[in-house]
Amino acid sequence: MAIGAEMVIGIFKPVTRAAFEALELLHNKKYTTKFSPSSVPQRERKRRRRSISPETPKTPFVLSLLDDDKPINPHRGFVFGSDENSCDVLLTKDSSHGVSGVHFRLSLNWDSGALLIWDESSLGTRVQSTATNSKITFKKQSHPIVSGDKISAGLVIFTITTPDRAGNQLIFSQNMRKYYDQWIKEIPSIGAGSVTRSKSTYWDPGKISPFEILGSGTSGTVHKAVDCYGKFYAVKLLKSFRDRDENEMAIKRFYKEV
C-alpha cells in the first residue's frame, strides 16, 4: 500500500553502507514500504531520476502515522538502536558500528508537528544541518530535526526528509492528532516524561534554530525557526556587510524595524 504525504512523518535515505545494511534487516521490514511520489520532496524526486545506482534501495525507510507502523510506546516515539528487544528501528547487529542498545528516539511535538530527536546513548548522536551548515554532537539532549538533516549514530548515517505536504498539511495535522489521542488512551505512560532532559539547537543551547527564509530586507532576513521543544517562530537576523559604515547603518535600521 502506498503512503501519502498526509501520513508520512519522515523519509530516511541511507548515506553510509551501515545505513544501507540497516534497511535490509528483517526487524525493519515494516518501515521499508512503498510510498506515494507526492510524499517525496520535488527536488529529491529530480535527483533520484538523475542518479540511480544499483546500491539505491527500491523502497525508502519511512516512518508514518499508520497503525501498522506505530512505535512500541508512542509517548517515547520511535526508538533507534542495536537492541532489537527495546528498539522500533534496529540500526545494526554489529557491535563495532558504535551504536548503543538504545541510541536515540524520534518524536513529534503533538501541537506543532515539529520533529524532535532525543539522544539516549552513552556515545552521543550527531546532527548535520544543511539549512545552517552546522554540526552538533549531543548527549542526553533533545534537538529539532528539519528536512535535509543528517543523523549519525556511529557508522549509521541517514538523511531525513519530510514530504511536500502542500495542501495536505491540514490533513496531516488532523491525522497526527487522531493518532496521538488513540494511543495515549491505550498505552500507559510508563517512564514518559519522568526524566528531565537538556535541550539543544543548531547554534547554542537554549536558542532557536533557523531553517527556512521567509523574507529579506535591506538590514535583515526573516527566517522560520524551531526551538528544542518543537515550537515554531519567525525570527529576523541581522545582515552583515564588509563595509564598516554600511554595517553600522544596517544595525541602526535593524533595531528601528524590530
- pLDDT one-digit tens code per residue, 134-191: 888 888 888 888 889 999 999 999 999 988 777 777 888 888 888 878 776 765 544 4
pTM above 0.85, yes or no: no
pLDDT band at 16 (very low <50, low <70, confident <90, very high): very high
The pLDDT of residue 85 is above 60:
yes
pLDDT computed for residue 67 by the predictor:
80
Region 63-87: mean pLDDT is: 88
**pLDDT 10s digits, 191-211:** 444 444 555 554 454 455 665
Per-residue pLDDT at 187: 57
Domain boundaries, the chain: 5-37+55-186, 208-257
Tell whether 236 is in a known binding site. Answer: yes
- Contact between residue 145 and residue 106 where contact means Cβ atoms under 8 Å apart: yes
Q: What is the Cα–Cα distance from 92 to 20, expressed in whole angstroms?
A: 10
Residues 104-138 have pLDDT tens digits of 999 888 777 788 899 999 889 999 987 778 888 88
Q: Which phi-psi region, left, alpha or beta, contains residue 96 (left: φ > 0; alpha: ψ -120 to 50)?
A: alpha
Query: What's the CATH class of domain 5-37+55-186?
Result: mainly beta
**Which comes out higher in pLDDT, residue 77 or 166?**
77
Give one word for 46, left, alpha or beta, with left for phi > 0 and alpha for psi -120 to 50: alpha
Look up residue 211 and give its three cell numbers: 531553517
Rounded mean pLDDT of 10-27? 92
pLDDT at 26: 93
pLDDT tens string 231-243: 665 666 666 666 6
pLDDT for 33-69, tens place per residue?
Answer: 655 554 455 555 455 444 434 455 456 789 988 888 8
**Looking at residues 77-84, what average pLDDT do you find?**
94
